[in-house]
A and B are shown apart, each in its own frame.
Chain A
Amino acid sequence: NAGVTQTPKFQVLKTGQSMTLQCAQDMNHEYMSWYRQDPGMGLRLIHYSVGAGITDQGEVPNGYNVSRSTTEDFPLRLLSAAPSQTSVYFCASRPLGGAQTNYGYTFGSGTRLTVV
């Protein structure tokens, strides 16, 4: 099925460990982004990308790295996990153009990460 696929769905890390959250979409969307959701905080933008080779920081980028080598994939890397990164992470994509007409974000199903 077309859409945004996130893996894994659940992950437990120890403090200091590294890992990569995967996000892939098959809709040829140029724009991809990562959000984290914390209780009572809504969703906050971590990083985003407007196309392969182009990334930029969002509201809460510290502790996370991203890269965009292909249109389809936008992985999120935690280099040294901290308990403060315990959260639910959502990846979202959309077409870059057509902002004046119909466009919409497609969200993945989320990754629930616990750092102990």
Chain B
Amino acid sequence: AQKVTQAQTEISVVEKEDVTLDCVYETRDTTYYLFWYKQPPSGELVFLIRRNSFDEQNEISGRYSWNFQKSTSSFNFTITASQVVDSAVYFCALSENSNSGYALNFGKGTSLLVTP
């Protein structure tokens, strides 16, 4: 069963639009960690954020913000005023003790295209 669901396969926006990438996860652990990674066309994986299950505070980093809601098992990612350089594949991932020693369980990714 898919533990991390990123329902949006592809999103296309025009520069300066806001865009939200959805992530829904499934776990029975009380302690777990959620991540977002960015994979630009060059292929490397870029760490964006880690959030633990005990911290539901939303976080903002520049144009990026994250909304963690345990009640809906969601960890959504919003890019404000998108830029062409934001074009990439974005992965949400879950890390839980019951899975291979906190291995990362990735969603299938959302491909974001930002056009000028």
Mark A residues whose CB is within 8 Å of B.
Answer: 31, 33, 35, 40-45, 48, 50, 56, 58, 88, 90, 92, 96, 99-100, 102, 104-105, 107, 109-110, 112
Please state if B101 and A107 are interface contacts (CB–CB under 8 Å).
no
Q: Which residue of A lies closest to B2 (CB)?
A: A42
Verify if B43 is at the interface (C-beta below 8 Å from A).
Answer: yes
Mark B residues whose CB is within 8 Å of A.
Answer: 4, 9, 31, 33, 35, 43-45, 47, 50, 52, 91, 97, 100-109
Select which of A40, A50, A110, A112 is within 8 A of B101 by beta carbon.
A50
Q: Which residue of A lies closest to B46 (CB)?
A: A107
Give the chain B neighbours of A41 by CB distance below 8 A: 108
Select which of B43, B45, B97, B108 is within 8 A of A99 by beta carbon.
B97
Which of B44, B104, B105 gathers most chain A CB within 10 Å? B104
- What 8 pairs between A and B have smallest CB-CB spacing? A42-B106, A42-B108, A107-B45, A43-B106, A45-B103, A109-B44, A42-B109, A48-B100
Q: Could you tell me the dominant secondary structure of chain A's interface residues? A: strand
Give the chain B neighbours of A56 by CB distance below 8 A: 100-101
Q: How far is the CA of A58 from the CA of B109 in the complex (A)?
A: 20
